[in-house]
A and B are shown apart, each in its own frame.
Chain A
């Protein structure tokens, strides 16, 4: 009903890491992205494309080097952590690896109630609501008094999800939440996230390198390459008719379980060094359809036939050149 309302807005966001050798690495470079209320947005790309960096910047735990991020109209960035607004509690992150995101030396109950205690809820009440959340994610109440080593990967990720939900977020950003899990636990945890999003009326950015899962669960899909957004569209459209050559390459690389023995198509070359990104279109050295202009002109995200993509071949070349 309120589908069209934007809840999280990223405009021209850049994130630069300063490395120990003083060189700079721009992991995310001028990205625009909007998350609408109630939607699940899949964010995909190869490792090193900046999708996790973007996720962390979007919740404000990584400082940005340019651009603006607003959540429900409240600025997330640029901001320093000390003046973080209370509003931003409704924006939560779930990490990839539940083996390292939970503290092995503290009881799970104590880890869950931290957030609530910080914001003035009394301990008894906090415990009670944490217990309820644990039950909701499929674990028993007794989990509160246990330690993480007593749980499997799938169960730990459920605990991490419960922890992210303690402050009743409106938006969750899930950074590869299932890739550290066993194959059989992956579907269960992905399903749990989808159910929770629908049930609690949340919105979610689901960051993953597993395209088939993103295809199934997300309403829209955003594709990143080397710090740049290359295509954003309805999941169905992007799969049926990818507009950017990189999106096409990603889809063709997925092996199909049809028993016909067709080989997935290889995308030659490696992701280039992000410290010295290629000139022009960052994908041009690996692009099967690149033309001479691709190495000099930098494509912008443009709307062609109601679809956003950044490829020179999609915008009529003459217009761009002039």
Chain B
């Protein structure tokens, strides 16, 4: 039984012209101690998916489908019920540690508040635990850190504090939305190592959201590639990065800087993703796809399932094994 089971999750946001679909019938699962990566450009629905799992969507958003966490249905929870889940069982680390910590409150205050609320422990106990947590995420001199303010730490250290805060109530699932994007590569490597260690030591499940395929490659077991709010491809990270079947996944891989290239220009996928709420019927990527045919638009495209839980949604399938062999020979 998976820790998290998401079935046909759709999220519609209210806009000036009516409701727009931000997340379109997503299904995925996360097991204990597993790291799921969600990849996609901005506007692909990555962050909206995470906010749904925390019950933090805008007030008028419509959610349908099912999100089962630890056998509990999360869709339709009241805000009182959400308070017992959010922060306690599912926690989040945000992208920018410069803005997600309060600049005027000491680390101590920010770290212990939710521990006292959720765990029902005393302030003294919370302080002792907080010190341990800070040591666990490798903050030098945790005692001093507790009495310091966000501005006294570097970006990497702030992100470590945010991670310690997220872990304070011993959640089973951690959502990490671009947690290393704003950091230098050397610092990023430290954060990735930390998250991987925490996963092993605490059997923590993590949903790691980023557009950086390099980061996803190093830390995730499973990948879900999103485009315009829809799933395009999912499966084991190694399979997807080494043998992608969806042209969009291939496009993302191609647009990474190519180390051996003598060409100075970077490749990019031409065009822009469709606007929110204007996703076409059929494949949303069709108008930017160089393999697109008429069958790509107008009607729903059935997903193809391969072994090893590899799944993709493409009517043309230009990278089918046979097609690949044809190119290679």
Residue ranges of A at the interface with B (Cβ–Cβ < 8 Å) = 40, 46-47, 182-184, 187-188, 190-191, 194-195, 198, 209, 211-213, 215-217, 239, 249-250, 253-268, 270-271
Judged by a CB distance under 8 angstroms, whether B31 is at the interface is: no
Chain B contacts of A249 at CB under 8 A? Answer: 186
Q: Output the least CB separation between B9 and chain A (Å).
A: 24
Question: Among the listed B41, B155, B192, B216, which residue makes an inter-chain contact with A264, where contact means beta carbons less than 8 Å apart?
Answer: B192
The answer on a CB contact under 8 Å between A255 and B41 is no
The answer to whether B214 and A254 have CB atoms under 8 Å apart is yes
Assess whether B212 is interfacial by the CB under 8 Å rule.
Answer: yes
Chain A residues with Cβ under 8 A from B265's Cβ?
191, 194-195, 217
**Do A259 and B240 touch across chains, with their CB atoms under 8 A apart?**
yes
User: How many Å lie between the Cα of A187 and that of B265 in the bound state?
Assistant: 8
Q: How far is the CA of A198 from the CA of B188 in the complex (A)?
A: 33
Residue with the highest number of chain B CB atoms closer than 10 Å, among A211, A216, A258: A216
Report the minimal beta-carbon distance from A205 to chain B, rounded to whole angstroms. 15
> In angstroms, how far is the closest chain B Cβ from the Cβ of A259?
3
Closest 9 CB pairs of A and B: A259-B241, A255-B214, A187-B268, A264-B189, A267-B186, A212-B257, A257-B213, A216-B257, A259-B238
Which residues in B have their C-beta under 8 angstroms from that of A215?
Answer: 257, 259
Nearest B residue to A153, CB-CB: B42
Taking CB atoms, residues of chain A closer than 8 Å to B192 are: 255, 263-264
- Chain B residues, Cβ within 8 Å of A268: 190
Q: Taking A194-B264, A239-B259 as given, write out 12 further A-B residue pairs in contact, using a Cβ cutoff of 8 Å, ordered by the A residue number.
A: A46-B184, A183-B211, A191-B265, A209-B185, A253-B188, A257-B216, A257-B217, A259-B239, A263-B193, A263-B218, A268-B190, A271-B154
The reply to whether A216 and B264 contact each other, CB–CB distance below 8 Å, is yes
A–B Cβ pairs within 8 angstroms, 30 of them:
A47-B155, A47-B184, A184-B268, A190-B266, A191-B266, A194-B264, A195-B265, A209-B184, A212-B259, A213-B266, A215-B259, A253-B188, A254-B185, A255-B188, A255-B192, A255-B214, A255-B215, A256-B214, A257-B213, A259-B241, A261-B238, A262-B217, A263-B196, A263-B218, A264-B218, A266-B186, A266-B190, A266-B193, A267-B190, A270-B187
Interface residue B17 (Cβ < 8 Å from any Cβ of A):
no
Measured between beta carbons, the chain B residues less than 8 angstroms from A46 are: 184, 186-187
Which residue of chain B lies nearest to A286 when distances are taken between CB atoms in the complex? Answer: B186
Cβ–Cβ contact A265 & B189, under 8 A: yes
Chain B residue nearest in CB terms to A209: B184
Distance A42 CA – B158 CA, assembled complex (angstroms): 29
Q: How far is the CB of A99 from chain B (nearest CB, A)?
A: 15
* Interface residues in B5-63 (C-beta closer than 8 Å to A): 41-42
